């Protein structure tokens, strides 16, 4: 019996949790004080939650809560103490307190400055050990809990949208719990995956976006990032390419996103509860043909079918957390319950997420941290996209607006009309079912030891186990399926990673700091798929039970092993040089190419700390130059995990089983796609750090792209997976942070993020090919450009016409690009008075196109705006026929600016609640996708029916639009 779970991992975690429980001992001390106070943002005045406040020189401390408040129980002798506040991403803050006769001591507010240039910030991703940002040669983005909390989002990817220079984050679908795709610095692959590597507390997690079974072919990509609870997130670090991510070796071509979750702090239990209610609706409607005439000018009734399938949705999000700690034990426990309605009828998503983080110190040299995250969710999908049977949006775009879909037979109660070629969408919602269930466990275990001064050993075990099941039930008697159909697909995946890191810090003389590091890493991934189907169904049950049944199973496993060393040299804490080497081996590489070497080199020079910088004008406050060069790889996908050898499939010869080779030849020289990236830039701060500017230019060259190369038939094989192509990305990232106003009663800070990327396929050893509908891969062009039936054009590019209308080309040509030329976003945080803060995010993408196949189909099926023009006599039937045949006529500029997020927060005066133990309360109003400025005529310029596909992008075909939502929430802390 094959199993995908790794029982040893569970047992290990359980043993550890038991052990930790045994160490819980009550605190004891000389005199018990309770120190209370607040941690606030120095500019916006907003609460800083999750800041670590400690009484200097003691082990007592606490974390600030969502209102910025903290409460420390300290058993110490009376005296004067310094409170130290640390928060990743901000400069440290301090306050002085005197402990005397009073048991409860109120400390002054501690203001943390979000430095315009965060040189002191500690970054841990992509480096062998925690490293100060000033020493990094690359642009590493970090997003902290407060910006995630401000955004009030339900999934982590939404929290990153518009906040990361160099990242293109696209909501492919508005399906609740549905897919988002992320590209860091463009696309780095053609046939391989292009999504970054996601890591949570050292655990490499599954980010599979597969669409299981054909619930509207390719219209319901799943989103494993939606499983995470944004409230649990302390901080996110993002490495955008090979230069920063070289230590992740052959999984890092597409960058790395590491998520850190919150952990407990010594002190009394801190409890927070929060609830949000959210209303969603459709922001824009499609222009259905509603002119009440037929083609001959006679009066007819027309129906806007959108009214039938879209609704105002109501959703709720409840969260709870308790954290604290005593002696050397700290804990963080949280729960999150999401009940989300989709704006399309019959769609919804329920999720329960529970997390427990436990930290235990042993003596002064060992600390063990464990984390367990359990997620269960159920999503009611609705069919959409290109396979119309049962599709809601699909069926209405394929149905003339004269058909009354809502009409019922008064006697039977059944719907009278089918949706032209498909089943009636209303009966589909009533009788069909497409549930998707996720059951997930993410466990982590980290042990950090300091056997002697300067040496840190860090061991991490990560385990992610996801069970994703999707079913489709079509009842007996359904249109197109008279005896019913039931399908069920289960994908069980497990990812196990083991890391061991060693860091040794030493020095040469007074001003040379050396950090020598090394590490080992193994990753195992296993995915098992089970597919069941039945027809001629047993009545009553919705399970896969019928007179005709079939089943199949598939399994894929990969192993990756890596070893690395890194040396960092710091000179006078101003000039830093880091070099590293990673050797990687993967079971997916051919035996002759098994071990791959990825070097990196980076430098950083904090020039403003040099003595000669004192001579510069006061205008400059800080200046740093940085540069880096690194290599990383991209493994063959799971589907090609065994492409290094030829494989056999079974065949039948007069009742006997035979084996014949599959069409793909084995490639013993198979190796990863390999990216070389260099980047250079500077960070500069002006006017006493009130203006900060980061600039980065990068250049990536990806070689050995994996492509299926067709073979001459005389070899006996059809093709082979080979490392043959190459492409480039280059671009610019600018982040400008300003403190516009900072007075006692009013504060305003802004962040402007600009990213621009260019991509070109440099060489392709295979013929140009098309992916999806019309995304082209061709040498000399960006990957995935639109290649389709186009307008015929004259010498100057003007569209040629005859008496009917525009002419079409005789062969397909390249006519557009689904990738934006650049993106620009502006985040603003405004503080008004003591208790009110307002933040909003404008996010725009410019210079790209979307192919509006939805509208083309509407026009063809007498439901679209062109048909409406015909009804109004504005165009001829011949013109309509001509336009519908020219695909380019439906390629639209999709530039957009979205008011992505608005959040208004009001802190209630805690004294109002003193009696009931409430220490802080906030009311928060939030809105997502409130308004979109765009000329695009579809629902949403952001959707893509091909989900996470690397090449097939920018196609809108009956894709579930993203909802506009407005919510109100209350958050209390005790």
Partner 1 sequence: MPIQTIRRGVVALLTVLSLAACDLDLTDPNNPGEDVVEGSISGMLQVAVGLQAEYSNEIVDPIFVSALVADEVGAGGGTFQYIQELDVGGSEFDNTNGSSEAPWAGQYDVVQIANVLIQSAPGVGMGEATLSGVLALAKTFKAMAFGNLLMTFEQIPTDVDPTEPSPDFDSRDAGIEEVFRLLDEARGHLASTAPSAEFTEEVLAPGLDLGQLIDAMTARYALAFGRTGQAMTAAQRVDLGSFSEFRFDANDPNPVWNLMAAGGNSTEMRPEDTFRLGAEEGDGRVAFWATEEDIEGANVPLDAHARYGSNGAAILAVLPDEMRLIMAEAQAASGDLATARALINEVREPCSSAFDEPVACLPPLTAEDLPDAQSVRDQILYERRYELFGLGLGWDDLRRLAPAEVKYMFMPVPNSECDRNVNTPPGLCTIG
10, 459, 613, 913: residue in contact with partner 1 (rule CB under 8 A): 459
Q: Which residue in 640, 592, 596, 526 sits closest to 253, CA to CA?
A: 596
CB 434 within 8 A of CB 380: yes
The residue (of 588 and 751) whose beta carbon lies closer to partner 1 is 588
Query: Dihedral angle at the C-alpha atoms of 282, 230, 459, 595, nearest 10 degrees?
Result: 20
Query: Total number of residues binding partner 1 (CB under 8 A)?
Result: 60
Nearest distance from C-beta of residue 528 to partner 1, angstroms: 9
- Dihedral sign, CA of 153, 158, 163, 164? positive
Q: How many Å apart are CA 662 and CA 589, to the nearest integer?
A: 19
Task: Work out which of 657, 795, 810, 916 binds partner 1, going by CB under 8 A.
Answer: 657
Shortest Å distance, C-beta 433 to partner 1: 30
Cβ-based nearer residue to partner 1, 15 or 571: 15
Strand, coil or helix: what is 274? strand
**Of 23 and 648, which has the nearer Cβ to partner 1?**
648
Q: Using the rule CB under 8 A, is 646 a contact of partner 1?
A: yes
Piece in contact with partner 1 (CB under 8 A), picked from 157-165, 649-657, 843-851, 927-935: 649-657
Q: Does 585 bind partner 1 (CB under 8 A)?
A: yes
Judged by CB under 8 A, does residue 793 bind partner 1? no
Q: Identify residues 666-695 at the interface with partner 1 (CB under 8 A).
A: 666
CB atoms within 10 A of CB 767: 10
Integer CA distances (angstroms), 252 to 265, 583, 720, 871, in order = 33, 13, 24, 55
Q: Within the chain, what is the greatest distance between any pair of CA atoms?
A: 97
Going by C-beta distance under 8 Å and a sequence separation of 6 or more, which residues neighbour residue 937? 286, 287, 852, 855, 865, 892
Can you tell me the distance from the alpha carbon of 776 to that of 817, in angstroms, rounded to the nearest whole number?
10
- By CB under 8 A, is residue 298 in contact with partner 1? no
583 binds partner 1 (CB under 8 A): no
- In angstroms, rounded to a whole number, what is the distance separating the alpha carbons of residues 602 and 625? 11
**Other beta carbons within 10 Å of 442:** 24
Interface with partner 1 in residues 861-900 (CB under 8 A): none
Q: Give the sign of the dihedral formed by CA 186, CA 189, CA 191, CA 196.
A: negative
* Closer CB to partner 1, 278 or 561, in the complex: 561
Q: Does 713 bind partner 1 (CB under 8 A)?
A: yes
> What single-letter DSSP state applies at residue 867?
H
Interstrand relation of 664-665 and 719-742 (parallel, antiparallel or unpaired): parallel
Q: Does 443 bind partner 1 (CB under 8 A)?
A: no
Give me Rg for the CA atoms of the chain: 30
From 665, 702, 894, 972, residue interacting with partner 1 (rule: CB under 8 A): 665
Residues in 725-744 at the binding interface with partner 1, rule: CB under 8 A = none
- Give 868's DSSP letter: H
Does position 412 interact with partner 1 (CB under 8 A)? The reply is: no
Task: Judge contact between 918 and 974, C-beta under 8 A.
Answer: yes
Q: Does 565 bind partner 1 (CB under 8 A)?
A: no
**Minimum CB–partner distance for residue 709 and partner 1 (Å):** 9
Q: Compare residues 26 and 655 and give the one whose CB is closer to partner 1.
A: 655
- From 129-137, 256-264, 321-329, 446-454, span contacting partner 1 (CB under 8 A): 446-454
When binding is defined by CB under 8 A, the residue of 56, 548, 660, 800 that contacts partner 1 is 660
The answer to whether 366 contacts partner 1 (rule: CB under 8 A) is yes
User: Quick one: 426 or 764, whose CB is closer to partner 1?
Assistant: 764
At closest approach, how far in Å is the CB of 609 from partner 1? Answer: 37
3-state SS class at 431 = helix
- Pick out residues in 65-104 that bind partner 1 (CB under 8 A): none
Structure token pair of residue 67 = 């209102």
With CB under 8 A as the contact rule, the residue among 461, 685, 866, 948 that binds partner 1 is: 461
498 is a site residue for partner 1 (CB under 8 A): yes
DSSP code for 950: S
In whole angstroms, the minimum distance from the beta carbon of 586 to partner 1 comes to 7
Compute the least distance from the CB of residue 389 to partner 1, in Å.
22
Long-range contacts of 735-742 (CB under 8 A, 24+ apart): 735/165, 735/692, 735/693, 735/694, 736/691, 736/692, 736/693, 737/116, 737/691, 737/692, 737/693, 738/116, 738/690, 738/691, 738/692, 739/43, 739/116, 739/690, 739/691, 742/42, 742/43, 742/690
Q: Does 639 bind partner 1 (CB under 8 A)?
A: no
**Short-list 553, 430, 552, 533, CA closest to 486:** 533
Of positions 710, 833, 877, 885, contacts partner 1 by CB under 8 A:
710
Q: What is the DSSP letter of 134?
A: G
Of the residues 583, 620, 682, 717, which one makes contact with partner 1 according to CB under 8 A: 717
How far apart are CB 526 and partner 1 at their closest, in Å?
10
Indicate which single residue of 521, 566, 862, 962 sits in contact with partner 1 (rule: CB under 8 A). 521
Nearer to partner 1, 42 or 561 (CB): 561
Q: Taking a C-beta distance cutoff of 8 angstroms, is the pair 91, 43 a contact? A: no
Does 449 engage in binding with partner 1 (CB under 8 A)? yes
| 10 counts as binding partner 1 under rule CB under 8 A | no
Using CB under 8 A as the binding rule, whether residue 769 contacts partner 1 is answered as: no
Does residue number 559 form part of the binding site for partner 1 (CB under 8 A)? yes
Q: Is 522 in the site for partner 1 (CB under 8 A)?
A: yes
Is residue 599 involved in binding partner 1 (CB under 8 A)?
A: no
Nearest 5°: the CA angle 929, 392, 545 is 125
Three-state DSSP at 301 gives coil
Q: How far is the CB of 650 from partner 1 (least distance, A)?
A: 8
Distance between CA atoms of 374 and 9, rounded to whole angstroms? 15
Instruction: Name the residue nearer to partner 1 (CB basis): 4 or 275.
Output: 4
Report if residue 507 touches partner 1, rule: CB under 8 A: no
Q: Specify the residue, 18 or 653, whose C-beta has the smaller distance to partner 1.
A: 653
Residue 292 vs 661, nearer CB to partner 1: 661
Cβ atoms 463, 496 nearer than 8 A:
yes
Q: Cα–Cα–Cα angle for 542, 545, 546, nearest 5°?
A: 115
Question: Is the Cβ of residue 20 or residue 426 nearer to partner 1 in the bound state?
Answer: 20
CA distances, 222 to each of 120, 215, 339, 635 (Å) = 38, 12, 17, 22
Beta-carbon contacts of residue 479 (< 8 Å; ≥ 6 apart): 389, 418, 422, 423, 424
Q: How far is the CB of 211 from partner 1 (least distance, A)?
A: 20
In this complex, which beta carbon is closest to partner 1, that of residue 646 or of residue 760?
Answer: 646
The one among 645, 746, 912, 933 contacting partner 1 by CB under 8 A: 645
Among 716, 833, 877, 885, binds partner 1 (CB under 8 A): 716
Stretch that binds partner 1, among 279-287, 291-299, 447-455, 916-924 (CB under 8 A): 447-455
Residue 254: how many other CB atoms lie within 10 Å: 29
The CB-of-643 to partner 1 minimum distance in angstroms stands at 10
Closest to partner 1 by CB, 510 vs 650, is 650
Which is it for the CA torsion 784, 681, 250, 232, positive or negative? negative
Among 652, 743, 811, 911, which residue interacts with partner 1 (rule: CB under 8 A)? 652
Query: Any residues with CB less than 8 A from the CB of 411 and at least 6 apart, and which?
Result: none
456 binds partner 1 (CB under 8 A): no
Q: Is 7 in the site for partner 1 (CB under 8 A)?
A: no
Q: Is residue 1 at the binding interface for partner 1, with CB under 8 A as the rule?
A: no
| Residue owning tokens 């300003």 | 738
The binding site for partner 1 (CB under 8 A) comprises 2, 363, 365-366, 447, 449, 451, 457, 459, 461, 496, 498-500, 520-522, 524, 554-559, 561, 585-587, 591, 594, 641-642, 645-649, 651-662, 665-666, 710-718
């Amino acid at each position: 019996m094959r199993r995908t779970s790794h029982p040893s991992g569970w047992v290990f975690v359980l043993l550890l949790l038991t052990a930790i429980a045994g160490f819980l001992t009550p605190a004891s001390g000389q005199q018990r004080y309770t120190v209370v106070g607040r941690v606030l943002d120095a500019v916006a005045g907003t609460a800083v939650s999750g800041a670590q406040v400690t009484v200097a020189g003691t082990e007592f401390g606490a974390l600030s809560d969502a209102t910025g408040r903290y409460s420390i129980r300290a058993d110490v002798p009376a005296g004067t103490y310094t409170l130290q506040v640390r928060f990743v991403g901000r400069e440290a803050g301090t306050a002085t307190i005197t402990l005397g006769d009073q048991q409860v001591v109120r400390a002054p507010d501690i203001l943390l400055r979000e430095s315009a240039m965060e040189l002191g910030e500690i970054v841990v991703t992509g480096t062998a050990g925690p490293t100060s940002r000033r020493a990094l040669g690359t642009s590493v983005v970090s997003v902290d809990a407060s910006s995630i909390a401000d955004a009030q989002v339900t999934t982590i990817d939404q929290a990153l949208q518009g906040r990361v220079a160099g990242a293109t984050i696209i909501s492919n679908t508005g399906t609740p719990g549905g897919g988002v795709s992320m590209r860091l610095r463009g696309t780095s692959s053609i046939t391989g995956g292009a999504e970054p590597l996601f890591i949570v507390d050292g655990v490499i997690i599954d980010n599979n976006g597969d669409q299981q079974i054909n619930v509207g072919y390719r219209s319901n990509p799943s989103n494993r990032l939606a499983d995470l609870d944004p409230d649990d997130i302390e901080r996110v670090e993002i490495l955008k390419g090979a230069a920063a991510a070289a230590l992740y070796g052959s999984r890092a071509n597409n960058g790395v996103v590491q998520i850190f979750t919150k952990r407990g702090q010594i002190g009394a239990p801190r409890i927070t509860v929060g609830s949000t209610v959210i209303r969603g609706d459709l922001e824009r409607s499609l222009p259905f043909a509603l002119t009440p005439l037929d083609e001959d000018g006679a009066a007819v009734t027309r129906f806007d079918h959108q009214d039938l399938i879209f609704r105002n949705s109501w959703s709720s999000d409840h969260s709870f957390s308790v954290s604290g700690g005593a002696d050397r034990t700290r804990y963080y426990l949280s729960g999150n319950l999401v009940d989300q309605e989709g704006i399309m009828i019959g769609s919804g998503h329920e999720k329960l997420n529970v997390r427990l983080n436990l930290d235990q110190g042993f003596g002064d040299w060992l600390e063990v941290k464990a984390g367990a995250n359990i997620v269960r969710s159920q999503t009611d999908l609705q069919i959409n996209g290109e396979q119309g049977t049962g599709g809601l949006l699909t069926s209405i775009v394929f149905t003339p607006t004269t058909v009354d879909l809502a009409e019922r037979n008064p006697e039977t109660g059944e719907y009278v009309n089918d949706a032209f070629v498909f089943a009636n969408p209303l009966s589909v919602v009533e009788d069909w079912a497409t549930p998707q269930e996720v059951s997930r466990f993410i466990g982590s275990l980290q042990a950090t030891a300091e056997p002697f001064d300067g040496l840190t050993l860090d061991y991490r075990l990560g385990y992610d186990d996801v069970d994703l099941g999707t079913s489709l039930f079509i009842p007996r008697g359904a249109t197109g399926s008279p005896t019913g159909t039931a399908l069920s697909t289960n994908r069980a995946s497990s990812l196990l990673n083991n890391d061991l890191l060693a860091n040794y810090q030493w020095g040469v003389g007074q001003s040379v700091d050396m950090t020598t590091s090394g590490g080992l890493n193994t990753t195992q991934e296993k995915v098992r798929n089970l597919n069941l189907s039945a027809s001629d169904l047993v009545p009553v049950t919705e399970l896969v039970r019928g007179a005709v049944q079939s089943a199949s199973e598939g399994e894929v496993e990969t192993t990756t092993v890596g070893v690395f060393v890194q040396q960092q040299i710091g000179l006078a804490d101003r000039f830093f040089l880091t070099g590293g080497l990673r050797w990687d081996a993967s079971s997916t590489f051919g035996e002759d190419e098994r071990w791959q070497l990825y070097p990196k080199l980076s430098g950083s020079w904090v020039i403003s700390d040099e003595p000669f910088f004192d001579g510069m004008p006061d205008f400059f406050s800080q200046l740093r130059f940085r540069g880096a060069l690194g290599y990383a790889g991209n493994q063959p996908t799971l589907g090609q995990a065994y492409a290094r050898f030829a494989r056999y499939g079974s065949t039948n010869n007069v009742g006997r089983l035979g084996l014949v080779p599959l069409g793909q030849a084995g490639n013993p020289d198979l190796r990863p796609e390999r990216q070389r990236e260099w980047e250079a830039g500077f960070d500069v701060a002006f006017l006493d750090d009130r203006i900060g500017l980061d600039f980065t230019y990068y250049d990536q060259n990806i070689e050995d792209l994996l492509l299926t190369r067709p073979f001459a038939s005389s070899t006996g094989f059809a093709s082979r997976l080979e490392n043959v192509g190459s492409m480039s990305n280059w671009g610019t990232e600018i982040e400008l942070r300003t403190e516009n106003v900072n007075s006692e009663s009013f504060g305003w800070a802004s962040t402007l993020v600009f990213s621009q990327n260019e991509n070109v396929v440099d060489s392709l050893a295979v013929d140009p090919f098309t992916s999806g509908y019309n995304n082209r891969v061709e040498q000399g062009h960006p990957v995935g450009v639109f290649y389709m039936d186009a307008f015929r054009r004259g010498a100057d590019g003007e569209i040629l016409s005859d008496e009917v209308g525009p002419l079409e080309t005789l062969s397909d040509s390249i006519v557009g690009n689904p990738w934006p030329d650049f993106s620009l976003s502006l985040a603003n945080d405004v503080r008004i008075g003591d208790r009110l803060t307002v933040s909003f995010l404008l996010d725009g993408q410019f210079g790209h196109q979307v192919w509006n196949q939805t509208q083309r189909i509407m026009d063809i099926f007498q439901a679209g705006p062109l048909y409406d023009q015909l009804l109004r006599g504005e165009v001829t039937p011949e013109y309509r026929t001509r336009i519908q045949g020219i695909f380019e006529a439906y390629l639209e500029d999709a530039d957009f600016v979205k008011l992505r997020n608005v959040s208004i927060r009001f802190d209630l005066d805690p004294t109002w609640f003193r009696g009931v133990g409430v220490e802080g309360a906030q009311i928060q109003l939030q809105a997502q996708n409130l308004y979109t400025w765009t000329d695009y005529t579809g629902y949403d310029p952001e959707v893509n029916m091909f989900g996470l596909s690397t090449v097939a992008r920018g196609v809108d075909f009956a894709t579930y639009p993203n909802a506009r939502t407005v919510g109100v929430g209350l958050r209390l802390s005790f």
